Each structure stands twice: as C-alpha cells, then as structure tokens.
C-alpha cells in the first residue's frame, strides 16, 4: 500500500473512533503524533527537469517531472522554489502553484514546504516589503493548497553593516522583530503557516543567536528557524570551536528550530598565513561523512530534542563534470542552462549525485536512532 494511502486510511479510522467516543460522551484525547524526520530536497536542484518556460506554461506536467525525479533520487519530500528564478514565480503563484503541487503529489511525493525570497527588513516603520515581496499573494495560495512551512530570508535578509556595534546592533534586531511580528500575524491569518528563517551568509541569523533575539515573544509555530548547519558551522572556524558552537546552538534553540538544511564542510589551513577556510563537500556514505560535522551527533540532537520535520538537502558542493572538469551545483540550473546544453551535466549525473546524498542522510539518521522506538524516518 502506498504511504499516502496508508496515512489517509489511518486518519479516517482515527477520526471515526473519535466520533464514536464523542457520541458516547467520552473524552476524546488526540492521538500523539510520532516524531518524524523527513528526507527533503530543495527543488532548485530539480529545476533541470524542464525549462522555466515549460514549468510556467505546464505546471502540472512539470510537477509530475519534479515528483518522479525526486523519488528516483531517494527523497520523500520536496521544498518547492516559489521565487523569480524558481519553479513558480510570485506573479504566477495563483495559477501555477496549485497545479504544480497537484502534479508533484500525484507521484506520491510529499510537498508541504516552499522556498521564497520574502525578507523582512530591519526598519520597523517599513511595511512596503509586504506588497513588494508578494507576501499575501504567495502565502494565501500556499496555505489554501496544503503548504505548512515556507523558508524565507534566502536572500536580501537584514544583516549587520561593518560599522554596526553594541546598542546599534540591538536596535537593528529590535526593528527586525517588529517585522517578524507582522509576518507572524500574516501566518496566523492564513491558518497557522510557519515561516522558517534561513541561517545564511551575512544574515543576522548566521549563528542562530541573533535570530532567536529577533523572534522573542513570537509563537515558534508561526516564526521559526531553518538551521542550515553548513552555514552555521562555517561561521565559527577553527573546527574545534565550530563543532562545539553548533551543538550548543541546537540544544539551546531546539524549540525554535522547525526545519534543517544538511550539508557537510571541509576545512583547509593556509600554509603561509594559517588562516582557516571551509567549503562544502559531497558526503561519503562509506564514512561518517568525511567532513567537519559529526552527523550521528547532529541527528541524535534532533531526535533527543523532540524535533519533527525535514532534513533538507541543499546541494552546494562541486562534483566532476562529464567533460573532464568540475562544476559547482550551487546554481539554479534549468534544462536550457549551458551546464546541460554543453553536456557538462546530465540528468543521470544529477540523479546519481542526489541519490548518494539521500542515502547518506538515511544512513546517519538511522545510526542516530531515527526509525526506532516509535520515531519515523521518511
């Protein structure tokens, strides 16, 4: 029996039992939900299944292509790009998103996350971003079509300028909180959507602590954190201190972490200057990963901290190409991109690379205890 049919059948049975109890005057206690880790892929890494023009004009068909490629790659769920360079553009969200979701879900793939370029500013008096970033247009359609979480602050997020110190930094975060509150109110308006802020680059939330400050007093079911461990750990080299920091961040802020992005890192030391630098690496399933992140510890922290949600691949490392060179996958490749038309990348190469990564997630999560004692690994 397919997973989606089993789950829907179980839900019907549970609802029927609840109605029987209610009719008999018995108290109805909601059944506890199992702690679940969902293997998920950002759909930027599946944009090569079609051209962007095809995705816009044939969203349901493109959705089927996305779902089929996702399942071949070993993932259960997809985080769909809804942005200017994505599968669905903000201007076309009302017509494109419902049909693309229909196509994806028809394959048996899960899609209840989207990735957007919403970025609340630091100016507490600025409300223009809500209209200019299509916030209501995107979130109203998303919520009406079964989306429960969206990742924001992928670009254009508030950051600290080089000359920002002390009280000025606190004031900036206070301003961000005002706009986080506005976004939370919009999320509540659309049935309790959860926006997860991406820990990324020079964002205020690269190391999580500033995000936590800018979200205090706001329901974590409405505004939360997407812990991109590859970004967060790389913000604190050398490796020893970086390792300690991300573990403390996870333990301290687990109730606010509602999604995770999983990438490993390699550290290099400049022989002349002694400077430490990091880069993304493809995981090696024959090892614990080969990089800085202790993945068994990472997934144990999620499990022991009560986490339920996605372990999402954002494939930003470099692989050998098909013509004797190398190519970074940290780009939004559609089918008509030069990387594919030149033959440097092929669909088969992408499927094999993504399958390697999903296999690694499953192996390390299983080693950490996921799938045991009532927890689920999808």
- With respect to residue 53, please indicate whether it lies within any of the assigned structural domains: yes
- With respect to residue 15, please indicate whether it lies within any of the assigned structural domains: no
Residue pair 211/197 in contact (Cβ under 8 Å)? The answer is yes
Cβ-count burial of 166 within 10 angstroms (0-12 exposed, 13-18 middle, 19+ buried)?
A: exposed
Residue 3 is predicted with a pLDDT of 45
- With respect to residue 256, please indicate whether it lies within any of the assigned structural domains: yes
Q: Tell me how many domains the chain contains.
A: 1
Residue 285 is predicted with a pLDDT of 66
Residue 207 is predicted with a pLDDT of 79
Q: CA-CA distance, 207 to 252, in Å (whole number)?
A: 12
- pTM of the predicted structure, to 2 decimals: 0.84
* pLDDT tens per residue across span 263-310: 877 667 777 877 666 667 777 666 665 677 888 888 999 999 999 999
- With respect to residue 14, please indicate whether it lies within any of the assigned structural domains: no
Q: CA-CA distance, 90 to 38, in Å (whole number)?
A: 26
Residue 129 is predicted with a pLDDT of 95
- With respect to residue 2, please indicate whether it lies within any of the assigned structural domains: no
Q: State the average pLDDT for the chain.
A: 86
Q: CA-CA distance, 104 to 95, in Å (whole number)?
A: 15
Q: CA-CA distance, 195 to 176, in Å (whole number)?
A: 14
Residue 286 is predicted with a pLDDT of 62
- With respect to residue 3, please indicate whether it lies within any of the assigned structural domains: no
Segments forming the whole domain that contains residue 169: 33-372
- With respect to residue 345, please indicate whether it lies within any of the assigned structural domains: yes
Task: CATH number of the domain at 100, please.
Answer: 3.20.20.150
Residue ranges of the chain whose pLDDT lies below 50: 1-17, 19-20, 238-239, 241-242
- With respect to residue 19, please indicate whether it lies within any of the assigned structural domains: no
Residue 17 is predicted with a pLDDT of 46
* pLDDT tens per residue across span 331-346: 889 999 999 999 999 9
Q: Are strands 318-320 and 309-313 parallel, antiparallel or unpaired?
A: unpaired
């Amino acid at each position: 029996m397919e997973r989606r049919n089993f789950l829907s059948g179980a839900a019907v049975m549970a609802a029927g039992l609840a109605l029987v109890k209610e009719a008999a005057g018995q108290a109805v206690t909601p059944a506890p939900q199992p702690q679940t880790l969902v293997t998920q892929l950002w759909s930027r890494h599946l944009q090569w299944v079609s051209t962007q023009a095809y995705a816009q004009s044939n969203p349901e068909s493109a959705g089927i292509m996305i779902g089929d490629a996702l399942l071949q790659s070993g993932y259960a769920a997809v985080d769909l790009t809804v942005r200017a360079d994505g599968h669905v553009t903000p201007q076309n969200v009302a017509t494109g998103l419902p049909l693309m979701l229909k196509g994806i879900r028809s394959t048996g793939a899960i899609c209840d996350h989207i990735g957007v370029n919403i970025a609340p500013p630091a100016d507490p008096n600025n409300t223009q971003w809500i209209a200019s970033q299509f916030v209501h247009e995107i979130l109203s359609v998303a919520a009406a079509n079964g989306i429960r979480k969206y990742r924001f602050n992928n670009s254009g997020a508030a950051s600290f300028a080089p000359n920002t110190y002390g009280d000025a930094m606190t004031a900036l975060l206070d301003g961000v909180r005002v706009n986080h509150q506005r976004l939370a109110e919009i999320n509540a308006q659309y049935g309790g959507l959860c926006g997860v802020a991406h820990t990324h680059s020079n964002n205020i939330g690269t190391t999580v602590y500033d995000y936590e400050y800018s979200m205090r007093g706001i329901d974590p079911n409405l505004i939360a954190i997407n812990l991109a461990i590859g970004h967060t750990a790389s913000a604190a080299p050398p490796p020893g201190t970086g390792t300690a920091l991300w573990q403390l961040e996870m333990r301290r802020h687990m109730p606010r972490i509602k999604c995770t992005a999983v990438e490993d890192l390699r550290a290099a030391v400049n022989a002349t200057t002694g400077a430490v630098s990091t880069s993304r690496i493809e995981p090696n399933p024959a090892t614990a990963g080969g990089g800085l992140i202790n993945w068994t510890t990472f997934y144990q922290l999620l499990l022991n901290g009560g986490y339920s949600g996605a372990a999402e691949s954002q494939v930003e490392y470099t692989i050998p190409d098909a013509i004797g060179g190398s190519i970074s996958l940290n780009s939004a490749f559609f089918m008509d991109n030069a990387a594919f038309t030149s033959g440097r990348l092929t669909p088969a190469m992408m499927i094999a690379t993504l399958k390697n990564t999903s296999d690694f997630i499953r192996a390390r999560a299983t080693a950490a205890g996921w799938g045991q004692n009532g927890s689920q690994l999808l």
